[in-house]
Amino acid sequence: MISKANIKSVKSLHQKKIRDAHNQFIVEGEKMVLEAIRWKSDFLVALYHTSDFPTEEIDATKINLIAISDHELKQISGLQTPNKALAVFDKWPLETVNIPFYIALDGVQDPGNMGTILRLADWFGVEEIICSMNTVDCFNPKVVQATMGAIFRIQVRYVDLKSHLLALKMPVYGALLEGENMYKSSLKPEGILILGNEGNGISEEIKQLIDYPISIPRFGEAESLNVSTAGAILLSEFFRGTI
Amino acid sequence: MISKANIKSVKSLHQKKIRDAHNQFIVEGEKMVLEAIRWKSDFLVALYHTSDFPTEEIDATKINLIAISDHELKQISGLQTPNKALAVFDKWPLETVNIPFYIALDGVQDPGNMGTILRLADWFGVEEIICSMNTVDCFNPKVVQATMGAIFRIQVRYVDLKSHLLALKMPVYGALLEGENMYKSSLKPEGILILGNEGNGISEEIKQLIDYPISIPRFGEAESLNVSTAGAILLSEFFRGTI
């Protein structure tokens, strides 16, 4: 059972300004909620679940479990087909990492792309993604769902991208249509790979910081690649020499 | 101006069974419609456009142009933000091709993935995609939009996948989690690369036809990759040795 006030407060987390103000966000669906608990149970605020959610798989003594009806789940969910559970989490603090290779996003807007890039980072073991302030919020529910769990393992840092890149003092690689053929570049995962906005690419300000402009050779007619598939190809090229 | 009957008939093309019955489909938005006319003007049935569509860029003598209002465009559009034009096209006949490398899709369901894979094929110059009958319709409006124009250049053939693969008599590569490390496989774009369903991967029936199971090594924690990013990485690996 969930009160009207509670419904309203959970639903409000679909908005970025409320997520920012409360420092909380939403995770939905059986698989994602179980994954979230596995990695970040200390930050769970409340778990709203229907009767078919497998509560036996979690340590219920430590968790604020709230049984609700399918109808109530539908009221708080942002999914077309709600799936057994919705959890509210506190955002966890970012840790200082000192890693050899970062992905930086300069104005990526589409939640599906952002989620897919997080999932890619998780596949290739890139522990932190650096984002310009105008990049889509990684705690947007659509991003969270598209990460397939990577959001619980990879940290996303929003910064003034220009000054952050300068402070890192690492080689900066930028994916550009007119860069050097990446297949000939002997790429190693040491530095920062910048991926740009879906329509406009990397901004002029950030382009000036690129030490190594690289590009994916084209064999056919397509004008461009989607940012997440371009990112996939580039990451593979950076890592392929390491095994 | 567009009649009520006409609105109904255009809107019905958002449904697969009507597209199949009439052998027609929809293209939306200024850029995509101009691209469609550039490549496939012979198959244009009607172009519905608002007053700000650049009709001067097309040969209006050859095209059935129908000026409509923004409100009318909204009525026939499937986009959240309709953009100046919607065109109805006849599907064009498939040509017989004899190419060294195909992509085959076994049950890919998500229109965004399908569109992205078409765009990838277009980037790498793979002229035909072979699909199992349960793969999403390539003329689904969401697929068409996600291809960014590739649908006008790459042909998509729906077949009984098993018998088609057997008839092609080409080496079959399958993307599997437990395949051979693709970085060590010296891949060449000669044969057929099979990509499977988002949740279940390649079906058991088709798995048995795979001559070379290959996989993308994992460096981090993610359980899997999205089918379109996995496809991107594999295609790059197949083509990287050819230039």
Question: How would residue A39 be classed by pLDDT, with cut points 50, 70 and 90?
Answer: very high
Of chain A, the percentage scoring pLDDT greater than 70 comes to 100
Residues B82 and B160 in one domain: no
Q: Is A184 part of a structural domain of the chain?
A: yes
Q: Is A96 part of a structural domain of the chain?
A: no
- B143, B226, B227, B243: best to mutate for the A interface, most A CBs within 10 A: B226
Question: How would residue A165 be classed by pLDDT, with cut points 50, 70 and 90?
Answer: very high
**Region A169-195: what's the mean pLDDT?**
95
Phi, psi of A85 (to 5 degrees): -160, 150
CA distances to A102, A159, A194, B195, B208 from A154, in Å:
11, 16, 17, 27, 36
Q: Is B61 part of a structural domain of the chain?
A: yes
Whether A39 and chain B come into contact, CB under 8 Å, resolves to: no
CB contact under 8 A, B220 and A124: yes
Give me the CATH number covering residue B32.
Answer: 3.30.1330.30
**Per-residue model confidence (pLDDT) at position B32:** 96
Assess whether pLDDT exceeds 90 at residue A148. yes
**Per-residue model confidence (pLDDT) at position A59:** 86
**Region B197-220: what's the mean pLDDT?**
96
Assess whether pLDDT exceeds 90 at residue A152. yes
Residues A160 and A191 in one domain: yes
DSSP SS3 for B99? coil
Residues B76 and B157 in one domain: no
Give me the CATH number covering residue A236.
Answer: 3.40.1280.10
Residues B55 and B133 in one domain: no
Residues A65 and A130 in one domain: no
What is chain A's mean pLDDT, rounded? 96
Of the residues B39, B69, B90, the one at which a domain ends: B90
**Roughly what angle, to the nearest 10 degrees, separates helices B227-239 and A227-239?**
50
Looking at beta carbons, which residues of chain A come within 8 Å of B153?
Answer: 220-221
Determine whether B160 is exposed, middle or buried from the number of CB atoms within 10 Å of its CB (0-12, 13-18, 19+).
Answer: exposed
Residues A45 and A112 in one domain: no
Q: Quick one: which H or E segment has residue A175?
A: strand A172-181
Residue A23 to residue B162: CA distance in whole angstroms = 52
Residues B139 and B223 in one domain: yes
Q: Is A33 part of a structural domain of the chain?
A: yes
**Per-residue model confidence (pLDDT) at position A177:** 85
Looking at beta carbons, which residues of chain A come within 8 Å of B121?
Answer: 220
Say if strands B101-106 and B85-90 run parallel, antiparallel, or are unpaired. unpaired
Assess whether pLDDT exceeds 90 at residue A62. no
Say if strands B155-159 and B128-132 run parallel, antiparallel, or are unpaired. parallel
**Region B91-116: what's the mean pLDDT?**
97
**Region A33-60: what's the mean pLDDT?**
94
Q: Quick one: which H or E segment has residue A27?
A: strand A24-28
**Per-residue model confidence (pLDDT) at position B62:** 84
Whether A68 and chain B come into contact, CB under 8 Å, resolves to: no
Q: In angstroms, how far is the first alpha carbon of chain A from the final one?
A: 52
Assess whether pLDDT exceeds 90 at residue A243. no
B112 Rama sector, left if φ>0, alpha if ψ -120 to 50, beta otherwise: alpha
Of the residues A32, A63, A90, the one at which a domain ends: A90
Q: What part of B 104-133 touches A (C-beta under 8 Å)?
A: 112, 116, 119-126
pLDDT in tens, B127-153: 999 999 999 999 999 999 999 999 999
Q: Is B159 part of a structural domain of the chain?
A: yes
CB contact under 8 A, A237 and B239: no
Residue B30 to residue B37: CA distance in whole angstroms = 11
**Per-residue model confidence (pLDDT) at position A61:** 84
Residue B72 to residue A161: CA distance in whole angstroms = 43
How close B220 comes to chain A (CA, Å)? 4
Question: How would residue A20 be classed by pLDDT, with cut points 50, 70 and 90?
Answer: very high
Q: Is B96 part of a structural domain of the chain?
A: no
Q: What share of chain B is helix, strand, coil (3-state, %, to 5)?
A: 40, 25, 35
Q: Both tokens of residue B166?
A: 């057997």
Residues B237 and B186 in one domain: yes
Of chain B, the percentage scoring pLDDT greater than 70 comes to 100
Looking at beta carbons, which residues of chain B come within 8 Å of A183?
Answer: 240, 243
Q: What share of chain A is helix, strand, coil (3-state, %, to 5)?
A: 40, 25, 35
State the DSSP code for A102: E
Assess whether pLDDT exceeds 90 at residue A178. no
8 A C-beta contact, residue B13 and residue B88:
yes
How close B227 comes to chain A (CA, Å)? 10
Q: What is the ipTM of this complex?
A: 0.94
Residues A178 and A134 in one domain: yes
Assess whether pLDDT exceeds 90 at residue A122. yes
Give the nearest partner residue to A123 out of B121, B219, B228, using CB atoms.
Answer: B219
Of the residues B35, B66, B90, the one at which a domain ends: B90
E strands, chain B, in order? 24-28, 44-49, 65-67, 85-90, 101-106, 128-132, 155-159, 172-181, 191-196, 212-215
Assess whether pLDDT exceeds 90 at residue B159. yes
Please state which of the ranges A8-12, A49-53, B59-63, B105-109 shows the lowest mean pLDDT. Answer: B59-63
Count of residues in chain A? 243
**Region B67-72: what's the mean pLDDT?**
96
**Region A16-36: what's the mean pLDDT?**
97
In which domain, by residue range, is A23 found?
A: 4-90
**Region B1-26: what's the mean pLDDT?**
95
Residues A83 and A187 in one domain: no
8 A C-beta contact, residue B101 and residue B159:
no
Assess whether pLDDT exceeds 90 at residue B216. yes
Residue A143 to residue B157: CA distance in whole angstroms = 33
Say if strands B212-215 and B172-181 run parallel, antiparallel, or are unpaired. parallel
Q: Is A42 part of a structural domain of the chain?
A: yes
Residues B8 and B125 in one domain: no
Residues A82 and A110 in one domain: no
State the DSSP code for B93: P
Question: How would residue B178 be classed by pLDDT, with cut points 50, 70 and 90?
Answer: confident
pTM of the predicted model as reported, rounded to 2 decimal places: 0.95
Q: Is A165 part of a structural domain of the chain?
A: yes
Of chain A, the percentage scoring pLDDT greater than 90 comes to 94
* Number of domain units in chain A: 2
